[in-house]
Every structure is written in structure tokens, then in C-alpha cells.
Amino acid sequence: MLPTHCLLLLVSALFQTTFATYQLVQDYTGDAFWQGFEFFTEADPTDGLVQFQSLEQANATGLAGFIESGNSSLAVYMGVDTKQVAPEGRASIRVSSTQTFQHALVIADIAHMPGGVCGSWPAFWMVGANWPNNGEIDIVEGVNDQITNSMTLHTNEGVVVSNTSDFSGELFTANCDINAPDQPANAGCSIGDNSNLTFGTDFNAAGGGVYATEWTSESIKIWFFPRGSSPDDIASSTPDPEADWGTPNSVFQGSFDMDDHFNNLSIIFDTTFCGQWAGAIWNTTSCASLAPTCEDYVANNPQDFTDVFWAINTLQVFQDNGQEGSSMTNFTGAGGSTKVRRSHPAGPRSGARVLPMYS
């Protein structure tokens, strides 16, 4: 029989495991977004027809800043160039959080996303510095005229997800290994959503919604709540996925050790064009009627990309009591103390305007 003090410790541990709650560890809402994200200016790793802009370039052209959201509040704004013919690549934004996370509940209230436009390839995702060994979680992603969201994991070998979990999406590919022999290169394990409200044109027409991603040692789950339907505990910043969140849109789990494949992930928002996905499947979509190639269309039709922008109302990261916390990492970019203005009026959105640099 165990000594009394051992029984007490065991009961205490079980209680903590059962009733652990999420606490806010990082709030990227408003000004804090630009304090916690850095600009990526290197060549696009996915071979897109894009020129990722520096902070200085984004400020000068109005491609990054703030824009009024539906309730007259300010949303973080990231757009693309809509004025120039761009044979060398369309100007766009890719930003990465300077902080990395080990297990997290990431909740993003997105008012508008760039999806559903031919040639575009937007993504909201998480990734480790040593790719693919530290893993990648694609929360929101799609290309061209795609109408529903794709949720995908990319890893090294040894990660195969099961189709036995309860989720509303459809499992397209089960092997997360980027080099899986029976799948297209870098397909990863992918679950496609069944609702048009989750991505692109219909998402934007409905006023967007809330994406919540829970990453633990056991699983990675993604929920989407259309505008006006998110649980009250999200609005109050006391999220509890075990309460009344309903069936996740996707669940990734299986007979593998999650912590062996997902470590120290940063958060990324970007919009690229063409490249290894949007460009590769161009001729299989209705977009092919617009131009012979994706690159030709993106380079020569700037006016068609006025709807290609992110507007993020809130972005918050929560972690479970007792879980490993977050850490700082260094990325090439602007630096966490750099301030960003609202978008310049010469930029693509008439609702965006200049403010003095924040102090």
C-alpha cells in the first residue's frame, strides 16, 4: 500500500491534470502585434512570384499597419501591391513571431483573409526553426479559387495520423512526412474543411470568424467559429476547449510521440503567389482561363488583388498551467521594438491612413 503522502501527491496530480486551465501568455492584439512580429525579406522558400517587404518598405507603400474593422475598431492589416506590373514578383508581407511556443492554444479573430483569388497563396501557420524536424502546423491555407480551408501538418518521417477521431473535416492524406513515398512531395497530412465559410470569398462575405488551434502532447485540434458563433469563454479570454466548443474541424493524432516532432514553433502570416502549389496546379483550376500561367496573371494584373489582404482583429496565445512555456528566438527582420504605423493612404486600402510612429 502506498504511504499517505504518496497518495496525496497522486490525487493532487490527477486533479491538476483534469482541471488544468489555460492562461493568457501573449496578446498580439493591436499595437502588440507589431511589437511581437518581424518581417521576413528573404526569397520565398516555396518559389512564389513574390517580393516580401521589409518594415521600411511596408511603411512606405502602406502594405502593413492597421485598418478599421467592422465595429470601427482597428485590425492589423497586411496587404499586397495592387498598382504595379510585377514580373519580378508582387510585393507582399510575411511576418513571424519573435517568440516561439511549446504547446499552446492559439486563437485568432480574423475579419478578412486573402483567399479565393487566382494566383494567391495565403497562410496562417506555425513552424519550427529546424524544418521539417521541428514540425509545421498549417491552420489556414489555400490557393487560387479554393473555397474551403486546408489544415495540414508537415514533419519528418514517423508521423501518420488516424482517421478515428471525431472531427468535421475530411482526411485527404494521412502521412505527415514531407517525403512520404505514396503521396505528392510535401503533401503532409491534410484535412480539408467542408464549409465554404472557412476560407476565402464566403469567409470574407460573412465577416470572417475565429480560428482556435490547440496543440498538446496528445493531439493538434483546430476549430473554426463563424462570425457571431464563437464561445463566450473565448470572448472573455478564459478559453476552455473541453466546455461547449463542439466538434473540431480537424484532429491530428496517432500512435506517435507528438513532442518528438513538434517543438518551439513560431506563428507566421504570409501571402505569396504561384509557386509550388498555386502555380503547380494552375492548369487544373478555373483560373487557367485567365492567363496561360499563374506567373503571367499575377505579374500583369495588379488591379485584381485589391481583396488580397489580412485583417486580424485579435491574436492571443494561451498555455496550460504546468506546461512548458514559451521562449524568445531571433529571426532576421525588424526587431521586436520597432513600431509600425497605420497603412499609408497611397496603399491599396482606402480605409487605411497614416498615424505618427507609435512611441
What the block records as the C-alpha cell of 62 is 502602406
Determine the 3-state secondary structure of 190 from DSSP: strand
Query: Which residues are CB-neighbours of 317 under 8 A, at least 6 positions away?
Result: 24, 25, 26, 27, 28, 101, 104, 105, 106, 107, 267, 326
Strand 220-226 versus strand 250-252 pairing type? antiparallel
Is position 141 annotated as part of the catalytic site? yes
Q: How big is the chain by its Cα radius of gyration, in Å? A: 21
φ, ψ for residue 70 (rounded to 5)? -60, -30
Q: Using CA atoms, how far apart are residues 218 and 96, in angstroms rounded to an integer?
A: 25
38 is catalytic: no
* One-letter-per-residue 3-state SS of 318-340: EEECCCCCEEECCCCCCCCCCCC
**Element (H or E) spanning 335, and its range?**
none
Exactly one of 38, 56, 141, 170 is catalytic; which is it?
Answer: 141
Report whether 192 contacts 168 (CB < 8 A): no
Task: Tell me if 192 sits within 8 A of 170, measured CB to CB.
Answer: yes
81/92 Cα distance (integer angstroms):
7
Residues 162, 146 contacting (CB under 8 angstroms):
no
Give Cβ neighbours of residue 40 (< 8 Å, ≥ 6 apart): 52, 94, 95, 96, 268, 270, 331, 332, 333
Give the Cα separation of 345 and 297 in Å (integer): 26
Q: Which residues are catalytic?
A: 136, 141
